[in-house]
């Protein structure tokens, strides 16, 4: 079976677990821009609670463009802000030193298109997880896919409901768990920084 999903910014853990479970990932590239989604947002755990890191896009929430036509609004200095938030959240995590230099390159490289940014992050993350996931892309817009061949996750995991997938996600020791309690299904970088190479084992369980 193939997982069908939208392309997201350091997507929630459930997206990677599904991809590993089914191996084949097909990314929707013919959808219209969707506001209030993980396409330009990720959630991490900071010292004072959850942080929603949001990438500004040209046209803002009201952009009517197709997803591959959405431009990042680099007039806002979002990259150093996001990177400082990541450092603050994870510099005490066991594997921060292991991943930080490579990740920092992304936050010091200017990207024009949101699609290119998200795709590079996806490929980097799969490489760090060391998993065999085959990525393909939709060839046209199709509302429905055969349920026996595809698990359609497009638009299902959202900032407003990502916590509802907690039962399908791994449990592990988080940086601020003693203060916040365990927070499930955060961005995949939370799992990577906390568990390192062990992350893939947790995703497969």
According to the model, what pLDDT value does residue 59 have?
Answer: 83
**Confidence band for 77, pLDDT divided at 50, 70 and 90:** very high
Pairing state between β 134-137 and 41-46: unpaired
CA distance 137 to 135: 7
Average pLDDT value for the chain: 95
Q: Give the CB-side neighbour count of residue 154, counting CA atoms within 13 A.
A: 22
Direct distance between the N- and C-terminal alpha carbons of the chain, in angstroms, rounded to an integer: 18
**pLDDT of 62 over the 70 cut:** no
Q: Which residues contact 162 (CB under 8 A, 6 or more apart)?
A: 12, 14, 38, 43, 185
Average pLDDT over residues 21-34: 92
Under 8 Å between Cβ of 188 and 127: no
Higher pLDDT, 132 or 196: 196
Largest CA distance in the chain: 47
**Confidence band for 112, pLDDT divided at 50, 70 and 90:** very high
Please give the radius of gyration of the chain, using alpha carbons only, rounded to the nearest integer.
Answer: 16
According to the model, what pLDDT value does residue 205 have?
Answer: 87
Give the rounded percent of residues in the chain with a pLDDT score beyond 90. 90
According to the model, what pLDDT value does residue 71 have?
Answer: 95
Average pLDDT over residues 65-91: 96
Q: Which of 136, 149, 179, 138 is nearest to 46 (CA)?
A: 179
Least confidently predicted of 58-62, 108-112, 201-205: 58-62
DSSP 33: P
Average pLDDT over residues 111-115: 97
Per-domain residue ranges of the chain: 2-204
Please tell me whether residue 135 adopts helix, strand or coil conformation.
strand
């Amino acid at each position: 079976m193939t997982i069908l999903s939208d392309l997201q910014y350091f997507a929630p853990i459930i997206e990677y677990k599904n991809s590993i479970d089914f191996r084949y990932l097909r990314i929707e590239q013919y959808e219209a821009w969707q506001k209030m989604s993980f396409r330009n947002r990720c959630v991490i755990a900071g010292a004072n609670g959850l942080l929603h890191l949001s990438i500004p896009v040209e046209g803002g929430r009201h952009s009517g463009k197709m997803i591959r036509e959405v431009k990042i609004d680099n007039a806002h200095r979002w990259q150093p802000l996001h990177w400082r938030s990541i450092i603050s959240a994870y510099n005490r995590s066991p594997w921060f030193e292991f991943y930080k230099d490579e990740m920092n390159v992304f936050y010091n490289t200017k990207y024009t298109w949101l699609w290119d940014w998200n795709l590079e992050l996806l490929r980097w993350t799969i490489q760090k997880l060391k998993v065999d996931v085959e990525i393909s892309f939709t060839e046209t817009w199709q509302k429905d896919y055969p349920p026996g061949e595809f698990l359609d996750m497009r638009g299902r995991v959202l900032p407003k409901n990502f916590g509802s997938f907690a039962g399908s996600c791994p449990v592990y020791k988080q940086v601020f768990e003693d203060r916040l309690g365990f927070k499930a299904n955060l961005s995949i970088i939370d799992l990577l920084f906390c568990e390192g190479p062990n992350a893939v084992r947790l995703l497969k369980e």
